[in-house]
Amino acid sequence: MSSRAVGLGVAALLLAVPAVAQEVTIPTRSPRTGAVIFRGGGYKPRIDTEKALNGATPYKDTFGDASLLLIEAEIQRFFYQGIGTAGLGLGVGYGEKYADAKLDDGSAAADKAALKVLPIQLNAFYKFDYAAFRWGIPLVPYAKLGLVYSPWWMTKGSETELVEGDKASGGKWGWAGTAGVSFLLDVLEPRFARDFDSDLGVNHSYLFAEYTHADVNNFGGKGLNLSSRRWMFGLALDY
């Protein structure tokens, strides 16, 4: 092979590299219409604050100071995207807590007592993500206000408790306000974030922490008080 032929081959290769580079598509953002959120945290219902209990603490006596582990999933739909983002969200959670039932003398019984809740929440939210997208500040504060309905039931052994003819199950209405801040993960791996968008349609990913003030007691009605003040942590994915 002559040196002239080798030279032509190298030249052709060099010409081909820019051509290949020109084949790479310029990343584009997919439409952003909503979000999916997964969160978890401790949930300690304010059962012992019910006035009728006159200071008695049945929750603390049964479970001590421990909280329920509450996990939630939420889907959001964006209706406004301008200076920040606003929309509606619908979330469903589940939490449970087990402890030994007590004998009359206060000692532990063989049966397990449990409290289980299934909070459902419809909320309106606003998050200030303008600074994150416009100026690259990766923190997104947000707030939510919503309506809560929380089915609950208490079991002893394998059955729902029945005391004095009252079955230990029902549901409570209430409201909840939440404030939190999200950390935009895209800033850590921008290229990965773009791939995530182009491959799966996930525009942005966040880790967040939020504080919820929930009054779930049938808006001040009598009976079980499932209100709480809690911190939750989780992952949010805009799509």
Partner 1 sequence: MRLPFIGLLLFASTAVAQVGPTVQFATAATGSTNLTITVPKSECGNARRFTWTRTGNICGGSLFIYATTNACGTEPTATDLKLETLTATSATTGTVNFSVAELLAARGTSADGGPAATCDTQQTEISFNLCASARQLGGLYGTDCQTAYANVGAPAYVMKFDPVKPKAPTIAKVIVRDSALSVQVDGAETDSTVVVEAAMVASATTDAGTDDAGTDDAGTDDAGTDDAGTDLDAGTDLDAGTDGGGLGLVGALALEGTTGPVTRVTKASGEGNVVVTGLTNGVTYRLQATIIDAAGNVSDGSSQVDATPVKSNGLFDAYKDAGGEESGGCAATGGGIAGGAVLAALGIWLSSRRKVS
Which positions touch partner 1 (CB under 8 A)?
31, 33-34, 47, 50, 52-54, 56-59, 61-63, 75-77, 88, 90, 101-104, 109-111, 113-115, 120, 122, 149, 151, 154-157, 161, 163-164, 166-173, 222-224
* Least distance in angstroms from the C-beta of 150 to partner 1: 8
Nearer to partner 1, 77 or 229 (CB): 77
Q: How far apart are CA 210 and CA 236, in angstroms?
A: 12
Nearer to partner 1, 149 or 183 (CB): 149
Nearer to partner 1, 73 or 181 (CB): 73
Q: How far apart are CA 66 and CA 46, in angstroms?
A: 12
Q: In this structure, which long-range contacts are made by residues 192-201, counting pairs with CB atoms below 8 Å and at least 24 apart in sequence?
A: 194/27, 197/27, 197/29, 197/30, 198/27, 198/28, 198/30, 201/30, 201/239
Give the Å distances, CA to CA, from 235 to 45, 127, 201, 209: 24, 15, 16, 9
* Least distance in angstroms from the C-beta of 233 to partner 1: 23
How many Cα atoms sit within 13 Å of 200 on the Cβ side? 11
* Least distance in angstroms from the C-beta of 164 to partner 1: 6
Nearer to partner 1, 18 or 82 (CB): 82
* Least distance in angstroms from the C-beta of 206 to partner 1: 19
Q: Which amino acid does the sequence have at 94? A: Y
Q: Which amino acid does the sequence have at 84? A: G
Nearer to partner 1, 156 or 183 (CB): 156
DSSP 217: S
Nearer to partner 1, 99 or 137 (CB): 99
* Least distance in angstroms from the C-beta of 37 to partner 1: 13
* Least distance in angstroms from the C-beta of 203 to partner 1: 11
Task: Output the DSSP codes for 146-157.
Answer: EEEEEEEEEEET
